[in-house]
Amino acid sequence: MEKYREIGLKLTPQRLAILNYLDGNKEHPSAEDIYKAVSKKFPMMSFATVYNTLETLRQRGSLIELTIDPDKKRFDPNTKPHHHLICVKCKKIVDIYGDYKLPISNSDKEGFEIIGNHIEFYGICLKCKKGGGE
């Protein structure tokens, strides 16, 4: 929790519950998912508290906002460089680590200096293939 103090985040009990929920979470939850989980312990907490905390973490580089699902924003507490594999049926998101070299011609770069990339792979997860997904 020290890293959050270092970025100037006030650590209220509600924020600590949100941070604990996110710590090591690989599910790429939405704000709604986080609210549902954390409000069990803090029933008086508002959705705005969750959303504002997520936005603050995103702005300070401690959380990545994913726009993979057009119906809702998802959040990734893992800020290390990685890519994602997304099930097109149930929207499950899995982290993928690897350095994928994609050659881009100078004409396609349009003068850009490439400093990184994020690749999204799409497919159908094993659970959905077996008929158990959403």
Per-residue pLDDT of 43-94, as tens digits, reads 999 999 999 999 999 999 899 999 887 888 999 999 999 999 999 999 899 9
Q: Is residue 94 part of a domain?
A: yes
pLDDT score of 114: 87
Q: Is residue 134 part of a domain?
A: no
Q: In whole numbers, what is the pLDDT of the chain averaged over residues?
A: 90
Neighbouring residues of 15: CB distance < 8 A, sequence distance ≥ 6:
9, 49, 53
Considering the domain architecture, whether residues 92 and 118 belong to the same structural domain is answered as yes
Ligand-binding site membership of 83 (annotated): no
Ligand-binding site membership of 125 (annotated): yes
Whole-prediction pTM: 0.82
CATH number at residue 67: 1.10.10.10
CATH number at residue 121: 3.30.1490.190
- Among 76, 98, 119, identify where a domain stops: 76
Ligand-binding site membership of 115 (annotated): no
**What's the domain range around 100?**
83-129
Ligand-binding site membership of 87 (annotated): yes
N-terminal to C-terminal alpha carbon distance within the chain: 35
Considering the domain architecture, whether residues 7 and 58 belong to the same structural domain is answered as yes
* Number of structural domains found in the chain: 2
